[in-house]
Structure 1
């Protein structure tokens, strides 16, 4: 495989590739990485490029370089991940217990047209705009940008959010929540997202657009969740009776069909 200099510096590309292999467990704690010469041959790059990538991995504590021996994966990588609760409410409760919330914005505003349509609001109607981050072990793990119709947002205040979850304030309790629909995409971090998640601008993020309903079927919360993939996973489970194209999830391809060539007049 040959690395291409288009789009990003070669040493940064190698850094990303090796980091991914370490984080996903291809290289485990204590493993010796391929030699510099082997990496040069594998990716058709110079030894200087390899050294810069390994130096960056060392600075970020992914590897430890030992003179005359090589680069070893450090022991603090590849920790066992906790098993998911596999329930929407269970995972929300776990997140509340294990993370801390910082409120960035709480204002009544006119929301974007697409979100207004999803919430069943008229174009002129306003909604409560709530922007928060959630952190675990002082590391930001999610940026949540949400909109709530004003009739469901009466209990949502900065003071109340210190002790209760947003969904409890909207619906009264987790058990009063109803259907949840969501769309998952990848997105590049703009400067605001990058600052909130403490990642580099244009880093890849996991983007989840989620529409939450109450038991009566009314949409009560539209939230966009942005996370850094190196810190957060999306897990799902579907019951056997619910296996269909909508509940399991569908891949929708937004690719325009090529135009048919014009026929020449005889």
Structure 2
């Protein structure tokens, strides 16, 4: 197999490929990766390309490089595969505990028409525009660009966001949260997203657009979340009662004939 330049640097292609093999379990904790010479031959790339990819893997804490011996998968990988808490609220609580937040923008602004509609607002109506990043171990794992109707935004302050989940502040408590609708797409990082996630421009990212409702049915938060597959996975659980329901999710093909 030969790696080819296709808009993504060769060392990043090798990095993503090896990371996927590690996380998926092809390589286990303590396993040695193929040697630099073997990787050069296998993918028809230079030694410097291989070295850069291995350095990136080590920076991510996925391997350790031993001079003259080889690259070994670290024990930290075992922690990546622990069983997740699939619940929406459980995930929010864990995120609040395990990550740090930085507010990039927090301002009342006229709401764009494409977002005002789902929020039940008139085009141009004012809403709280909140842009944040969340980081884990010093590395950004999510960039969030959200809009909150003014009547639900009174409790949302920079100080409060350091202690409570945004949705808890909006709804009053987790018990008052209602339906959550979500659409997920693959995308390429534009310069703003790339800067927020500290990835290369045009690198692959996951874009999730969510509309969160109050228990009474009112939409309270429209947010787009960008993540990088270098640091984040999307997991789902489907209950037996939902296996044939639309709430499981469905593929919509936007192809014009």
What's the TM-score, normalizing by structure 1?
0.84
1:110-121 equivalent positions in 2, closer than 5 A: 110-121=110-121
Q: What runs of 5+ residues in structure 2 fail to find an aligned partner?
A: none
Aligned to 1:207: 207
- State which structure, 1 or 2, has the greater radius of gyration over its C-alpha atoms: 1
Q: What runs of 5+ residues in structure 1 fail to find an aligned partner?
A: 258-266
Matched, 1:181 2:181: yes
Shift of 1:240: 1.9
Matched, 1:57 2:82: no
Residue pair 1:141, 1:197 contacting (<8 A) in 2 also: yes
Shift of 1:77: 5.1
1:242-261 equivalent positions in 2, closer than 5 A: 242-257=242-257
Change (3 A) 1:145 1:31: same
Cα distance in 1 for residues equivalent to 2:251 and 2:186: 13
Change (3 A) 1:94 1:38: closer
What's the TM-score, normalizing by structure 2?
0.87
Matched, 1:129 2:129: yes
Shift of 1:80: 2.1
1:126-205 equivalent positions in 2, closer than 5 A: 126-205=126-205
Aligned to 1:80: 79
Matched, 1:235 2:235: yes
Shift of 1:18: 2.5
Shift of 1:221: 0.4
Change (3 A) 1:39 1:140: closer
Could you list the per-position Cα deviations for residues 44-92 of structure 1 after superposition, in whole angstroms to 9, with x for gaps in the alignment?
x25xx2x12321133221352543x5x3224255232232222111111
Residue pair 1:126, 1:150 contacting (<8 A) in 2 also: yes
Please report the RMSD computed on the Cα atoms of aligned residues, expressed in angstroms. Answer: 2.2
Cα distance in 2 for residues equivalent to 1:109 and 1:174: 26
Cα distance in 1 for residues equivalent to 2:248 and 2:210: 15
Shift of 1:156: 1.5
Cα distance in 1 for residues equivalent to 2:136 and 2:9: 31
| SS of aligned partner of 1:247 | helix
User: Could you tell which deviates more after superposition, 104-113 or 27-36?
Assistant: 27-36
| SS of aligned partner of 1:135 | strand
